[in-house]
Amino acid sequence: MIDTQRFTGRIPEQPGGDNTLQVGSVLQNRYRITGVVGVGGMGSVYQARDLRFPNVVRHVAVKEMLNPATDQGVREMTLRTFEREADMLASLSHPAIPGIYDYFPSKTRAYLVMEFINGRDLDAMVNQAAGRLPVDLVQQWALELCDVLGYLHHQKPEPIIFRDVKPSNIMIDQHGRLRLVDFGIAKIFQQGQKGTMIGTEGYSAPEQYRGEASPASDVYGIGATLHHLLTGQDPRLEAPFTFAERPIREVNPDVSPEFEAIIMKALSFEIEDRYPDAAAMHEALERITQPSGGGVAFPVSFGVARDEMDAWSDAEQQGVVALWKFECEDEVRSSPVVHQGVVYVGAYDNNLYAINAADGSFKWKYPAADGVTSSAVVAADENLVLFGSLDHLLYAVDTRVGHLSWTVSTQGPVQSSPTIAHGHVFFGSDDGHLYAVRLSSGRVQWKWFAGAPIRCRPLVTGEMIVVGMESGDVAGVDLSGQMVWRFKAKRAVTSSPIEHDGLVYFGSMDWHVYALDIVHGWKVWAFRTNKPVVSSPALGDDKLFIGSVDGSLYALDLSSGKERWSFKTGGQITSSPAYENNAVYFGGIDTNVYSVDAKSGRLRWSFKTGGPVPSSPALHDGVLYIGSMDHCVYALKA
């Protein structure tokens, strides 16, 4: 793979190193070379002194361009093209474009003499600033950059396309003015080279890799340059075209959402989604720069911010209405379960309620002796609904009539939600045991001593049971009740584990989300949130969704544990998300129920309840059922 280029941060070596002019050489009896400013593949740029002004030191920049063609015809054609380009440049007049003074060809090269700019380029400045250039200053430069490129884009008869907008081609002179340097004149030669693409990796628009360039390509370059200046993230060191995945305000909150939106619009992959040219971008920038005279509305005409706002207002306008709500006598912290047209949900008022899913009408309730905080589960074959209570019992109630079938007594509150599998119900108790109970008889088949309260819902696969404990231990227990492995998190594991393709996933109060090899209990990956994780994960779209007390819902890649997106709410998230049809649903302590697009992490809708929502949603036939601490159970259209 010897032909693979290494393009990052290296200037190509000059072909034939001795081609560079020596300091002291004099060109045209007029320009004495005083230094080398830069060396490029197609020639060098020198600092020179104009000897026609012997009494003052007048510096000029001399740009040298090699004409590598050996064929006489090609050489002359190249030269003519080059002359035309020099003529064109000389005819431009803009304060940000260096003045052109002179032009002369020689045998193997051509020289362009122009204004020497005393200043520093933006690449050097952003490197020195370590990524934090003042936002006001960058916004001012953005205006100046769009102004000069807009000037080029509006040239007649054809717009001039700069093609290579990047920090190293932009200088700030000693007066603080932005100047565009390294005009693409050398590229006329480069175009003759077979296979060479125009543009610098990192700043160039996608279409430039197809050999296409338009004013919108320069707009992309402006966006890429501003992104670099504001984030300090050099795009040459990042995967190409990943600006959208690296929001500016996440790194630099000083940037206004409006400024960010303009930059992100400029960075759209599709040409038609960008500003058509730099002048249009200039206009947008001017609008947000103008001092708001009270009447200037929040700019909504561009970019990401607009979409976000639309999503919000759409949701509000659509007004997700509750199909019904059912009021219990106390807070509903447990999660509903739906079975054959009936919603079963436990409440702090000690009752398990059976509610008609269709209209929210009361069917029956069964009272425990204390609060019901865990979620119920239905054993369909046995016509049982099972739930634990703080009164130390697990209850099995006949779903048809609401009469008690049997109970299992434990030595502590039952806060674990039960799991039905293999004709048994599995659940944990604060007495530190995991119980396996026969559904038919209610007899304890075995109990396994975990050593600490179990409050999660046990995961039961064909071969293994996985439970988390308040000690932070997670155990893999085989179906006969013998421990196979034990994993130690740093804090309690209340989150209920789930399994997919040989891995088991759960969250912990130690702020992490874990993936373990289910056979051995070995840690495959861990993802750190910013607060404890009580929420249980849900899977969908090759992602894992889980809430954190830090207020965000996270979407993680299942196989790598990398964050795909996160969605910030106004409070903690202890509710466990549910996934269906590319949407994620969950409750927030900020009293809202949320629906978020699973691919993008954008809000689909939110619904405000009268209290915090630690309950997790149940989805059935396009309807979402969820409880709130306002005592109500809601049925919402998903």
Partner 1 sequence: MNFLRRVFGLTPPPAEDDGISITQDADHAGLPEEPVIEPGDNASLPGVDNGDREGASRADDDTDPLLEENLSKMLGTRPLPRLEPPPRLPGQRLTFGQFSDVGMVRGNNQDAILALLASSASIDGMPDFGLFIVADGMGGHHDGEKAASITTRIVAQHVMSEILGAMLDQRMDDPDRPAITEVLREAFQQANRAVATQIPEGGTTASLVTIIGDLAYIAHVGDSRVYQITDTGIEQITRDHSLVQRLIELDQLTPEEAADHPQRNVLYRAIGQNETLDVDAITRRMPPRSRLLLCSDGLWNLVPEETIREISAAHSDPQDVCEKLVELANERGGPDNISVIVVQVPG
Q: For residues 217-246, which are near partner 1 according to CB under 8 A?
A: 237-241
DSSP character string of 318-372: HT--EEEEEE-SS---S--EEETTEEEEE-TTSEEEEEETTT--EEEEEE-SS--
* Cβ-Cβ contacts under 8 Å for 367 (sequence gap 6 or more): 350, 351
Stretch that binds partner 1, among 96-104, 191-199, 530-538, 589-597 (CB under 8 A): 191-199
In whole angstroms, give the CA distance from residue 416 to residue 432. 11
Residue numbers 547-566 binding partner 1 by CB under 8 A: 557, 559-561
Q: Order the strands of the 618-620 sheet from edge to edge.
A: 322-327, 632-637, 623-627, 618-620
Among 33, 267, 467, 503, binds partner 1 (CB under 8 A): 503
CA 394 to chain centroid: 43
Cα–Cα distances (Å) from 242 to 237, 239, 462, 524, 548, in that order, read 11, 6, 42, 27, 27
Which span sits near partner 1 by CB under 8 A: 13-21, 219-227, 275-283, 416-424?
416-424
User: Quick check: 298 binds partner 1 (CB under 8 A)?
Assistant: no
Pairing of strands 419-421, 424-428: antiparallel
Residue 20 structure tokens:
């560079």
Contact call for residues 493 and 501 (beta carbons, < 8 A) = no
The Cα 91–Cα 110 span in angstroms is: 18
Q: Which of 515, 467, 475, 507 is nearest to 491 (CA)?
A: 507
Binding flag, residue 250, partner 1 (CB under 8 A): no
CB of 3 to partner 1, least distance (A): 6
Q: Does 247 bind partner 1 (CB under 8 A)?
A: no
Task: Encode 67-117 in three state secondary structure.
Answer: CCCCCHHHHHHHHHHHHHHHHHHHHCCCCCCCCEEEEEECCCEEEEEEECC
Tell me the closest approach of the beta carbon of residue 507 to partner 1, in angstroms: 15
Candidate residues 311, 452, 526, 539; the one interacting with partner 1 per rule CB under 8 A: 526
Which of 11, 176, 463, 582 binds partner 1 (CB under 8 A)? It is 463
Stretch that binds partner 1, among 297-305, 358-366, 484-492, 618-626 (CB under 8 A): 484-492
Residue with structure tokens 């239905």? 378
Phi, psi dihedral angles at 29 (to 5 degrees): 55, 20
Segment lying near partner 1 (by CB under 8 A), choices 311-319, 339-347, 487-495, 613-621: 487-495
Cα separation values, 331 from 350, 486, 505, 587, 626, Å = 10, 35, 29, 14, 12
| Piece in contact with partner 1 (CB under 8 A), picked from 139-147, 220-228, 443-451, 607-615 | 443-451
Given 446, 471, 491, 571, the residue binding partner 1 (CB under 8 A): 446
The nearer residue to partner 1, 76 or 478, going by C-beta atoms, is 478
Task: Determine, following the binding rule CB under 8 A, whether residue 444 of this chain makes contact with partner 1.
Answer: yes
Query: By rule CB under 8 A, what string of x and - marks binding of each residue 265-294 to partner 1?
Result: ----x-------------------------
Q: Which span (5-13, 147-155, 310-318, 393-401) binds partner 1, by CB under 8 A?
A: 5-13
Count of residues that bind partner 1 according to CB under 8 A:
71
Taking CB under 8 A as the rule, does residue 17 contact partner 1?
no
Per CB under 8 A, contacts with partner 1 among 369-408 are: 408
When the beta carbons of 329 and 478 are compared against partner 1, the nearer one is 478
Round to whole Å and give the CA distance between 152 and 273: 21
Question: Backbone phi, then psi, for 213, in 5-degree steps?
Answer: -145, 140
Q: From the CB of 24, what's the least distance to partner 1, in Å? A: 33
Binding partner 1 by CB under 8 A: which of 30, 32, 325, 488? Answer: 488
Q: Residue 295 Cβ, how far from partner 1 at the closest point, in Å?
A: 40
Q: How far is the CB of 444 from partner 1 (least distance, A)?
A: 5
Taking the complex as a whole, the smallest distance from the CB of residue 163 to partner 1 amounts, in Å, to 16
Residue 76, number of CB atoms within 10 A of its CB: 12
Bridge partners, residue 381, by sequence = none
Q: Which of 101, 209, 312, 364 binds partner 1 (CB under 8 A)?
A: 209
- In 3D, which of 214, 309, 302, 308 has the Cα closest to residue 263? 302
Complex with partner 1: residue 101 or 241, whichever CB lies closer = 241
Least distance CB 260 / partner 1 (angstroms): 21
Q: Does 520 participate in binding partner 1 (rule CB under 8 A)?
A: yes
- Which residues ranging from 22 to 81 are in contact with partner 1 (CB under 8 A)? none
Stretch that binds partner 1, among 162-170, 275-283, 457-465, 582-590 (CB under 8 A): 457-465
Q: How near is the Cβ of 437 to partner 1 at its closest, in Å?
A: 9
Q: Is 322 in the site for partner 1 (CB under 8 A)?
A: no
461 touching partner 1, by CB under 8 A? no
The C-alpha R_g of the chain, in whole angstroms, comes to: 34
Q: What count of other Cβ atoms lies within 10 Å of the Cβ of residue 325?
A: 16
